[in-house]
Structure 1
Amino acid sequence: MPRMHRLQYWTSNMNEHKSFPKRMQDIVNTYIKQEQSAHSPSENTADQQQETAPSEQHPTAGDSAALEQRIIELEEQLATVTAERDELREKYVRTLADMDNLRKRTEREKEQLVLFATERLFSRLVEILDDLQAAVEAGKQSRDYDAMLNGLEMITTKAHRIYEEHGVRPLEAREGEPFNVELHEALVHVPHPELPEGTIVQQVQRGYVFRDRVLRHARVVTSAGAHAADGASSEQSPSSQSD
Protein backbone atom coordinates (compact mmCIF):
# COMPACT_ATOMS: atom_id res chain seq x y z
CA MET A 1 0.00 0.00 0.00
CA PRO A 2 1.42 3.47 -0.83
CA ARG A 3 2.58 5.65 1.99
CA MET A 4 -0.15 8.27 1.60
CA HIS A 5 -2.81 5.60 1.63
CA ARG A 6 -1.35 4.13 4.76
CA LEU A 7 -1.34 7.53 6.48
CA GLN A 8 -4.94 8.14 5.44
CA TYR A 9 -5.79 4.69 6.82
CA TRP A 10 -4.19 5.52 10.14
CA THR A 11 -5.98 8.86 10.30
CA SER A 12 -9.35 7.24 9.79
CA ASN A 13 -8.56 4.72 12.52
CA MET A 14 -7.49 7.47 14.89
CA ASN A 15 -10.72 9.31 14.32
CA GLU A 16 -12.70 6.15 15.00
CA HIS A 17 -10.66 5.16 18.05
CA LYS A 18 -10.44 7.96 20.54
CA SER A 19 -7.86 6.03 22.51
CA PHE A 20 -4.97 7.46 20.38
CA PRO A 21 -3.15 10.22 22.21
CA LYS A 22 -3.83 13.78 21.13
CA ARG A 23 -0.17 14.40 20.48
CA MET A 24 0.05 11.45 18.08
CA GLN A 25 -2.99 12.61 16.14
CA ASP A 26 -1.51 16.10 15.66
CA ILE A 27 1.79 14.69 14.38
CA VAL A 28 0.07 12.41 11.89
CA ASN A 29 -2.22 15.17 10.60
CA THR A 30 0.72 17.56 10.14
CA TYR A 31 2.68 14.93 8.25
CA ILE A 32 -0.28 14.18 5.98
CA LYS A 33 -0.66 17.86 5.10
CA GLN A 34 3.03 18.10 4.23
CA GLU A 35 2.85 15.02 2.05
CA GLN A 36 -0.25 16.29 0.29
CA SER A 37 1.34 19.67 -0.43
CA ALA A 38 4.45 17.93 -1.79
CA HIS A 39 2.55 15.53 -4.06
CA SER A 40 -0.30 17.76 -5.23
CA PRO A 41 1.69 19.77 -7.93
CA SER A 42 2.96 16.65 -9.66
CA GLU A 43 -0.45 15.06 -9.54
CA ASN A 44 -2.11 18.19 -10.93
CA THR A 45 0.53 18.41 -13.65
CA ALA A 46 -0.03 14.79 -14.56
CA ASP A 47 -3.76 15.37 -14.71
CA GLN A 48 -3.29 18.42 -16.93
CA GLN A 49 -0.96 16.50 -19.22
CA GLN A 50 -3.54 13.76 -19.50
CA GLU A 51 -6.23 16.31 -20.34
CA THR A 52 -4.17 18.33 -22.84
CA ALA A 53 -2.23 15.52 -24.51
CA PRO A 54 -3.85 14.66 -27.85
CA SER A 55 -5.00 11.17 -28.33
CA GLU A 56 -2.63 9.29 -30.57
CA GLN A 57 -4.30 7.59 -33.51
CA HIS A 58 -2.40 4.60 -34.71
CA PRO A 59 -3.13 3.60 -38.37
CA THR A 60 -4.81 0.31 -38.82
CA ALA A 61 -3.77 -2.40 -41.27
CA GLY A 62 -6.57 -1.39 -43.64
CA ASP A 63 -5.42 2.23 -43.72
CA SER A 64 -1.84 1.20 -44.52
CA ALA A 65 -2.97 -1.04 -47.38
CA ALA A 66 -5.14 1.72 -48.89
CA LEU A 67 -2.30 4.23 -48.63
CA GLU A 68 0.14 1.83 -50.27
CA GLN A 69 -2.35 1.15 -53.07
CA ARG A 70 -2.83 4.89 -53.63
CA ILE A 71 0.94 5.40 -53.83
CA ILE A 72 1.18 2.64 -56.44
CA GLU A 73 -1.59 4.27 -58.51
CA LEU A 74 0.10 7.68 -58.36
CA GLU A 75 3.44 6.17 -59.40
CA GLU A 76 1.76 4.50 -62.38
CA GLN A 77 0.08 7.79 -63.37
CA LEU A 78 3.41 9.61 -63.05
CA ALA A 79 5.12 7.03 -65.26
CA THR A 80 2.37 7.38 -67.90
CA VAL A 81 2.53 11.18 -67.90
CA THR A 82 6.34 11.10 -68.07
CA ALA A 83 6.24 8.76 -71.07
CA GLU A 84 3.69 11.00 -72.84
CA ARG A 85 5.83 14.06 -72.11
CA ASP A 86 8.93 12.40 -73.55
CA GLU A 87 6.99 11.34 -76.65
CA LEU A 88 5.60 14.84 -77.21
CA ARG A 89 9.05 16.36 -76.70
CA GLU A 90 10.51 14.01 -79.28
CA LYS A 91 7.73 14.86 -81.74
CA TYR A 92 8.31 18.58 -81.12
CA VAL A 93 12.03 18.26 -81.79
CA ARG A 94 11.37 16.27 -84.97
CA THR A 95 8.81 18.85 -86.13
CA LEU A 96 11.28 21.69 -85.60
CA ALA A 97 13.91 19.80 -87.57
CA ASP A 98 11.42 19.08 -90.39
CA MET A 99 10.36 22.74 -90.55
CA ASP A 100 13.97 23.89 -90.70
CA ASN A 101 14.74 21.39 -93.46
CA LEU A 102 11.62 22.50 -95.35
CA ARG A 103 12.64 26.15 -95.07
CA LYS A 104 16.13 25.41 -96.37
CA ARG A 105 14.79 23.24 -99.18
CA THR A 106 12.27 25.94 -100.17
CA GLU A 107 15.00 28.58 -100.28
CA ARG A 108 17.16 26.33 -102.46
CA GLU A 109 14.25 25.65 -104.79
CA LYS A 110 13.49 29.37 -105.09
CA GLU A 111 17.10 30.10 -105.93
CA GLN A 112 17.11 27.31 -108.50
CA LEU A 113 13.89 28.63 -110.07
CA VAL A 114 15.34 32.13 -110.33
CA LEU A 115 18.52 30.77 -111.86
CA PHE A 116 16.56 28.59 -114.27
CA ALA A 117 14.34 31.49 -115.39
CA THR A 118 17.35 33.77 -115.78
CA GLU A 119 19.17 31.09 -117.74
CA ARG A 120 16.21 30.66 -120.10
CA LEU A 121 15.95 34.42 -120.66
CA PHE A 122 19.62 34.93 -121.41
CA SER A 123 19.75 31.85 -123.60
CA ARG A 124 17.18 33.59 -125.81
CA LEU A 125 18.76 37.03 -125.56
CA VAL A 126 22.07 35.73 -126.89
CA GLU A 127 20.19 34.91 -130.08
CA ILE A 128 19.41 38.61 -130.43
CA LEU A 129 23.08 39.40 -129.94
CA ASP A 130 23.97 36.88 -132.63
CA ASP A 131 21.49 38.48 -135.04
CA LEU A 132 22.77 41.99 -134.29
CA GLN A 133 26.35 40.87 -134.80
CA ALA A 134 25.39 39.29 -138.12
CA ALA A 135 23.66 42.53 -139.17
CA VAL A 136 26.77 44.53 -138.32
CA GLU A 137 28.97 42.20 -140.37
CA ALA A 138 26.53 42.37 -143.29
CA GLY A 139 26.52 46.17 -143.15
CA LYS A 140 30.29 46.22 -143.38
CA GLN A 141 30.22 44.17 -146.58
CA SER A 142 27.17 45.70 -148.29
CA ARG A 143 25.61 49.12 -148.69
CA ASP A 144 22.13 47.74 -149.24
CA TYR A 145 20.33 49.83 -146.61
CA ASP A 146 16.93 48.38 -147.43
CA ALA A 147 18.19 44.89 -146.67
CA MET A 148 19.80 46.13 -143.46
CA LEU A 149 16.52 47.80 -142.46
CA ASN A 150 14.56 44.63 -143.10
CA GLY A 151 17.08 42.66 -141.05
CA LEU A 152 16.81 45.07 -138.11
CA GLU A 153 13.02 44.91 -138.24
CA MET A 154 13.19 41.12 -138.09
CA ILE A 155 15.56 41.29 -135.11
CA THR A 156 13.25 43.74 -133.34
CA THR A 157 10.23 41.50 -133.92
CA LYS A 158 12.15 38.52 -132.60
CA ALA A 159 13.22 40.47 -129.49
CA HIS A 160 9.63 41.50 -128.75
CA ARG A 161 8.51 37.89 -129.10
CA ILE A 162 11.16 36.71 -126.63
CA TYR A 163 10.19 39.40 -124.15
CA GLU A 164 6.51 38.50 -124.44
CA GLU A 165 7.32 34.83 -123.80
CA HIS A 166 8.79 35.91 -120.46
CA GLY A 167 5.89 38.17 -119.50
CA VAL A 168 7.29 41.49 -120.72
CA ARG A 169 5.06 43.58 -122.97
CA PRO A 170 5.37 47.14 -124.30
CA LEU A 171 3.45 50.00 -122.71
CA GLU A 172 2.21 52.39 -125.40
CA ALA A 173 1.04 55.95 -124.65
CA ARG A 174 -1.19 57.34 -127.39
CA GLU A 175 -2.03 60.93 -128.19
CA GLY A 176 -5.16 62.19 -126.44
CA GLU A 177 -5.08 59.59 -123.63
CA PRO A 178 -5.37 60.87 -120.05
CA PHE A 179 -2.09 61.09 -118.22
CA ASN A 180 -1.72 58.27 -115.65
CA VAL A 181 1.00 58.78 -113.06
CA GLU A 182 1.20 55.01 -112.47
CA LEU A 183 2.02 54.33 -116.15
CA HIS A 184 3.44 57.55 -117.55
CA GLU A 185 6.27 59.94 -116.82
CA ALA A 186 5.75 63.54 -117.96
CA LEU A 187 8.87 65.09 -119.41
CA VAL A 188 7.38 68.46 -120.36
CA HIS A 189 4.04 70.32 -120.10
CA VAL A 190 3.21 72.27 -123.26
CA PRO A 191 0.21 74.35 -124.41
CA HIS A 192 -2.05 72.72 -126.99
CA PRO A 193 -5.01 74.32 -128.77
CA GLU A 194 -7.04 71.11 -129.12
CA LEU A 195 -6.06 68.67 -126.36
CA PRO A 196 -7.33 69.42 -122.85
CA GLU A 197 -4.99 69.82 -119.94
CA GLY A 198 -3.66 66.57 -118.49
CA THR A 199 -3.75 64.57 -121.72
CA ILE A 200 -0.86 63.07 -123.66
CA VAL A 201 0.44 65.03 -126.62
CA GLN A 202 3.29 62.75 -127.67
CA GLN A 203 5.13 59.62 -126.55
CA VAL A 204 8.88 60.18 -126.34
CA GLN A 205 9.92 56.73 -125.15
CA ARG A 206 7.97 53.49 -124.89
CA GLY A 207 7.42 51.90 -121.50
CA TYR A 208 7.42 48.23 -120.51
CA VAL A 209 5.38 46.10 -118.12
CA PHE A 210 6.43 42.80 -116.57
CA ARG A 211 3.21 40.95 -115.78
CA ASP A 212 1.47 43.48 -113.49
CA ARG A 213 4.56 45.52 -112.58
CA VAL A 214 5.81 48.53 -114.48
CA LEU A 215 9.42 48.02 -115.52
CA ARG A 216 9.68 51.46 -117.07
CA HIS A 217 7.12 54.25 -117.33
CA ALA A 218 6.28 55.57 -120.76
CA ARG A 219 7.89 58.99 -121.15
CA VAL A 220 5.47 61.51 -122.64
CA VAL A 221 4.72 65.15 -123.35
CA THR A 222 1.49 66.38 -121.76
CA SER A 223 -0.89 69.19 -122.70
CA ALA A 224 -1.29 72.36 -120.66
CA GLY A 225 -4.65 73.06 -122.34
CA ALA A 226 -6.10 75.59 -124.79
CA HIS A 227 -5.96 78.50 -122.31
CA ALA A 228 -2.20 78.18 -122.11
CA ALA A 229 -2.06 78.09 -125.90
CA ASP A 230 -4.17 81.31 -126.13
CA GLY A 231 -1.93 83.01 -123.59
CA ALA A 232 1.16 82.02 -125.48
CA SER A 233 -0.27 83.31 -128.78
CA SER A 234 -1.33 86.63 -127.19
CA GLU A 235 2.15 87.11 -125.81
CA GLN A 236 3.63 86.54 -129.26
CA SER A 237 1.21 88.85 -131.17
CA PRO A 238 2.65 92.26 -130.01
CA SER A 239 6.12 91.24 -130.99
CA SER A 240 4.92 90.10 -134.39
CA GLN A 241 3.10 93.44 -134.92
CA SER A 242 6.19 95.40 -133.96
CA ASP A 243 8.17 93.42 -136.49
Structure 2
Amino acid sequence: MSDKENKINEEELAQATNEAEQVVDDAEIIGDEGDIEWNEETAEEVEESKVAQLEAALLQTEMRLKEQHDTVIRAKAEVENMRRRTEQEMSKARKFAINKFAEELLPVIDNLERAMQAADTESEVIKPILEGIEMTHKSFIDVVSKNGLKEINPEGEAFNPELHNAVSMVESPDHEANTVTVVLQKGYELNGRVVRPAMVMVAK
Protein backbone atom coordinates (compact mmCIF):
# COMPACT_ATOMS: atom_id res chain seq x y z
CA MET A 1 0.00 0.00 0.00
CA SER A 2 1.33 3.36 -1.00
CA ASP A 3 2.01 6.25 1.36
CA LYS A 4 -0.87 8.17 -0.18
CA GLU A 5 -3.35 5.44 0.54
CA ASN A 6 -2.06 5.12 4.13
CA LYS A 7 -2.56 8.85 4.64
CA ILE A 8 -6.14 8.65 3.36
CA ASN A 9 -6.95 5.73 5.70
CA GLU A 10 -5.50 7.60 8.67
CA GLU A 11 -7.63 10.68 7.87
CA GLU A 12 -10.78 8.54 7.56
CA LEU A 13 -9.99 6.84 10.87
CA ALA A 14 -9.46 10.15 12.60
CA GLN A 15 -12.71 11.49 11.17
CA ALA A 16 -14.60 8.39 12.28
CA THR A 17 -13.10 8.69 15.74
CA ASN A 18 -14.09 12.31 15.96
CA GLU A 19 -17.64 11.50 14.89
CA ALA A 20 -17.87 8.73 17.50
CA GLU A 21 -16.60 11.04 20.25
CA GLN A 22 -19.12 13.67 19.16
CA VAL A 23 -21.94 11.15 19.46
CA VAL A 24 -20.82 10.23 22.97
CA ASP A 25 -20.54 13.86 23.93
CA ASP A 26 -24.05 14.53 22.57
CA ALA A 27 -25.41 11.58 24.52
CA GLU A 28 -23.80 12.81 27.75
CA ILE A 29 -25.18 16.31 27.17
CA ILE A 30 -28.69 14.91 26.65
CA GLY A 31 -28.33 12.81 29.80
CA ASP A 32 -27.09 15.79 31.76
CA GLU A 33 -29.97 17.95 30.51
CA GLY A 34 -32.42 15.25 31.55
CA ASP A 35 -30.91 15.26 34.99
CA ILE A 36 -31.18 19.05 35.12
CA GLU A 37 -34.86 18.98 34.11
CA TRP A 38 -35.62 16.34 36.73
CA ASN A 39 -33.83 18.31 39.42
CA GLU A 40 -35.69 21.53 38.52
CA GLU A 41 -39.07 19.79 38.74
CA THR A 42 -38.17 18.27 42.10
CA ALA A 43 -36.94 21.60 43.42
CA GLU A 44 -40.15 23.25 42.28
CA GLU A 45 -42.26 20.64 44.07
CA VAL A 46 -40.18 21.02 47.22
CA GLU A 47 -40.52 24.80 46.97
CA GLU A 48 -44.29 24.54 46.55
CA SER A 49 -44.47 22.24 49.57
CA LYS A 50 -42.46 24.70 51.65
CA VAL A 51 -44.68 27.57 50.53
CA ALA A 52 -47.79 25.58 51.47
CA GLN A 53 -46.32 24.83 54.90
CA LEU A 54 -45.43 28.48 55.41
CA GLU A 55 -48.90 29.58 54.35
CA ALA A 56 -50.48 27.11 56.80
CA ALA A 57 -48.18 28.31 59.58
CA LEU A 58 -49.00 31.93 58.73
CA LEU A 59 -52.74 31.16 58.82
CA GLN A 60 -52.38 29.49 62.23
CA THR A 61 -50.38 32.46 63.49
CA GLU A 62 -53.01 34.88 62.21
CA MET A 63 -55.75 32.86 63.92
CA ARG A 64 -53.82 32.86 67.21
CA LEU A 65 -53.22 36.59 66.90
CA LYS A 66 -56.93 37.17 66.26
CA GLU A 67 -57.84 35.06 69.30
CA GLN A 68 -55.30 36.93 71.42
CA HIS A 69 -56.59 40.25 70.08
CA ASP A 70 -60.17 39.26 70.95
CA THR A 71 -59.01 38.18 74.40
CA VAL A 72 -57.23 41.50 74.93
CA ILE A 73 -60.33 43.43 73.75
CA ARG A 74 -62.59 41.48 76.14
CA ALA A 75 -60.15 41.94 79.02
CA LYS A 76 -59.93 45.64 78.27
CA ALA A 77 -63.74 45.91 78.19
CA GLU A 78 -64.00 44.05 81.50
CA VAL A 79 -61.41 46.33 83.09
CA GLU A 80 -63.25 49.38 81.74
CA ASN A 81 -66.59 48.10 83.07
CA MET A 82 -65.00 47.36 86.43
CA ARG A 83 -63.47 50.84 86.53
CA ARG A 84 -66.82 52.41 85.64
CA ARG A 85 -68.66 50.37 88.29
CA THR A 86 -66.03 51.26 90.87
CA GLU A 87 -66.33 54.95 90.04
CA GLN A 88 -70.12 54.75 90.27
CA GLU A 89 -69.94 52.97 93.62
CA MET A 90 -67.42 55.50 94.92
CA SER A 91 -69.60 58.35 93.68
CA LYS A 92 -72.63 56.86 95.41
CA ALA A 93 -70.61 56.31 98.56
CA ARG A 94 -69.53 59.96 98.56
CA LYS A 95 -73.04 61.23 97.83
CA PHE A 96 -74.82 59.12 100.41
CA ALA A 97 -72.13 58.80 103.08
CA ILE A 98 -74.10 61.20 105.32
CA ASN A 99 -77.46 59.53 104.65
CA LYS A 100 -77.74 58.11 108.17
CA PHE A 101 -76.48 61.35 109.70
CA ALA A 102 -79.01 63.34 107.66
CA GLU A 103 -81.86 61.14 108.89
CA GLU A 104 -80.85 61.83 112.47
CA LEU A 105 -80.68 65.58 111.81
CA LEU A 106 -84.23 65.80 110.44
CA PRO A 107 -85.98 65.68 113.85
CA VAL A 108 -83.73 68.54 115.00
CA ILE A 109 -84.77 70.64 111.99
CA ASP A 110 -88.42 69.71 112.58
CA ASN A 111 -88.20 70.80 116.21
CA LEU A 112 -86.59 74.11 115.30
CA GLU A 113 -89.37 74.80 112.79
CA ARG A 114 -92.05 73.88 115.31
CA ALA A 115 -90.46 76.23 117.83
CA MET A 116 -90.51 79.08 115.29
CA GLN A 117 -94.14 78.41 114.41
CA ALA A 118 -95.22 78.23 118.04
CA ALA A 119 -93.31 81.29 119.22
CA ASP A 120 -95.17 84.46 120.08
CA THR A 121 -93.76 86.91 117.55
CA GLU A 122 -95.37 89.85 119.35
CA SER A 123 -93.60 89.24 122.65
CA GLU A 124 -90.51 91.37 123.16
CA VAL A 125 -89.13 88.75 125.50
CA ILE A 126 -89.52 85.95 122.93
CA LYS A 127 -88.21 87.90 119.94
CA PRO A 128 -84.48 87.57 120.79
CA ILE A 129 -84.97 83.85 121.46
CA LEU A 130 -86.87 83.46 118.20
CA GLU A 131 -84.12 85.24 116.31
CA GLY A 132 -81.59 82.83 117.80
CA ILE A 133 -83.73 79.85 116.79
CA GLU A 134 -84.12 81.23 113.27
CA MET A 135 -80.38 81.76 112.94
CA THR A 136 -79.72 78.23 114.19
CA HIS A 137 -82.30 76.84 111.77
CA LYS A 138 -80.78 78.78 108.88
CA SER A 139 -77.30 77.52 109.74
CA PHE A 140 -78.61 73.94 109.81
CA ILE A 141 -80.31 74.33 106.43
CA ASP A 142 -77.24 75.94 104.85
CA VAL A 143 -74.96 73.16 106.06
CA VAL A 144 -77.19 70.29 104.98
CA SER A 145 -77.93 71.97 101.64
CA LYS A 146 -74.21 72.18 100.87
CA ASN A 147 -74.03 68.45 101.47
CA GLY A 148 -76.89 67.65 99.08
CA LEU A 149 -79.88 67.58 101.44
CA LYS A 150 -82.94 69.27 99.97
CA GLU A 151 -86.39 69.72 101.50
CA ILE A 152 -89.58 68.42 99.87
CA ASN A 153 -92.41 70.87 100.55
CA PRO A 154 -95.05 70.11 97.87
CA GLU A 155 -98.06 72.16 99.01
CA GLY A 156 -100.18 73.01 95.95
CA GLU A 157 -98.26 70.58 93.76
CA ALA A 158 -99.50 67.38 92.13
CA PHE A 159 -99.21 64.32 94.35
CA ASN A 160 -96.12 62.22 93.58
CA PRO A 161 -96.05 58.81 95.32
CA GLU A 162 -92.25 58.63 94.90
CA LEU A 163 -91.79 61.79 96.99
CA HIS A 164 -94.97 62.08 99.05
CA ASN A 165 -96.75 59.95 101.58
CA ALA A 166 -100.51 60.66 101.56
CA VAL A 167 -102.05 60.16 104.97
CA SER A 168 -105.57 61.15 103.92
CA MET A 169 -107.79 62.30 101.04
CA VAL A 170 -109.95 65.38 101.62
CA GLU A 171 -112.59 67.34 99.76
CA SER A 172 -111.18 70.71 98.67
CA PRO A 173 -113.04 73.04 96.31
CA ASP A 174 -109.94 75.19 96.06
CA HIS A 175 -107.74 72.42 94.69
CA GLU A 176 -107.85 70.08 91.73
CA ALA A 177 -108.06 66.38 92.36
CA ASN A 178 -104.80 64.66 93.29
CA THR A 179 -103.26 67.93 94.49
CA VAL A 180 -101.43 68.27 97.80
CA THR A 181 -103.55 70.51 100.04
CA VAL A 182 -101.62 70.37 103.33
CA VAL A 183 -98.05 69.36 104.18
CA LEU A 184 -98.09 67.77 107.63
CA GLN A 185 -94.37 67.11 107.65
CA LYS A 186 -91.75 68.18 105.14
CA GLY A 187 -89.82 65.53 103.31
CA TYR A 188 -86.15 65.52 102.40
CA GLU A 189 -84.00 64.04 99.67
CA LEU A 190 -80.24 63.59 99.60
CA ASN A 191 -78.66 64.04 96.16
CA GLY A 192 -81.85 62.86 94.48
CA ARG A 193 -82.52 59.96 96.87
CA VAL A 194 -85.53 60.29 99.17
CA VAL A 195 -84.43 60.27 102.79
CA ARG A 196 -87.95 60.91 104.10
CA PRO A 197 -91.10 61.39 102.02
CA ALA A 198 -93.32 64.35 102.81
CA MET A 199 -96.43 63.53 104.81
CA VAL A 200 -99.34 65.19 103.01
CA MET A 201 -103.09 65.46 102.61
CA VAL A 202 -104.36 65.17 99.06
CA ALA A 203 -107.51 66.57 97.43
CA LYS A 204 -110.00 64.04 96.12
User: What pairs with 1:73-84 in structure 2 (closer than 5 Å)?
Assistant: 73-84=51-62
Query: Aligned match of 2:137 in 150, 156, 168?
Result: 156
Greater RCO (CA < 8 Å, at least 6 residues apart): 2
Q: Which residue of 2 aligns with 1:166?
A: 147
* Alpha-carbon distance, 1:151 to partner: 3.3
The question of 1:222 aligning with 2:202 is answered: yes
Q: Which residue of 1 aligns with 2:66?
A: 88
Q: Which residue of 2 aligns with 1:191?
A: 171
Q: Which moved more, 1:110-119 or 1:179-188?
A: 110-119
* Alpha-carbon distance, 1:80 to partner: 1.9
Aligned equivalents of 1:178 and 1:145: distance in 2?
37
Question: Aligned letter for 1:69?
Answer: E
Q: Which residue of 2 aligns with 1:48?
A: none
| Residues 77 and 92 of structure 1, relative CA distance in 2, 3 Å threshold | same
* Alpha-carbon distance, 1:194 to partner: 4.8
Aligned equivalents of 2:176 and 2:78: distance in 1?
60
Task: Provide the aligned C-alpha RMSD in A.
Answer: 4.1
Q: Which residue of 2 aligns with 1:71?
A: 49
Query: Aligned match of 1:202 in 182, 185, 189?
Result: 182
| Residues 105 and 181 of structure 1, relative CA distance in 2, 3 Å threshold | closer
Aligned equivalents of 1:191 and 1:97: distance in 2?
62
* Alpha-carbon distance, 1:208 to partner: 2.7
* Alpha-carbon distance, 1:74 to partner: 0.2
Aligned equivalents of 1:213 and 1:114: distance in 2?
10
Q: Which residue of 2 aligns with 1:35?
A: none
Question: Aligned letter for 2:64?
Answer: D
| Residues 180 and 91 of structure 1, relative CA distance in 2, 3 Å threshold | closer
User: What pairs with 1:99-114 in structure 2 (closer than 5 Å)?
Assistant: 99-114=77-92
Aligned equivalents of 1:193 and 1:153: distance in 2?
35
Q: Give secondary structure in 1 for the equivalent of 2:169.
A: strand
Q: Give secondary structure in 1 for the equivalent of 2:202.
A: strand
Aligned equivalents of 1:99 and 1:82: distance in 2?
26
Q: Give secondary structure in 2 for the equivalent of 1:173.
A: coil
* Alpha-carbon distance, 1:67 to partner: 2.9
Q: Give secondary structure in 2 for the equivalent of 1:70.
A: helix
* Alpha-carbon distance, 1:161 to partner: 2.0
Q: Give secondary structure in 1 for the equivalent of 2:154.
A: coil
Unaligned runs of 5+ in 1: 1-59, 136-143, 225-243
| Residues 71 and 102 of structure 1, relative CA distance in 2, 3 Å threshold | same
Q: Give secondary structure in 2 for the equivalent of 1:88.
A: helix
Question: Aligned letter for 1:91?
Answer: H
Q: Give secondary structure in 1 for the equivalent of 2:165.
A: strand
* Alpha-carbon distance, 1:204 to partner: 0.7
Unaligned runs of 5+ in 2: 1-36, 113-124
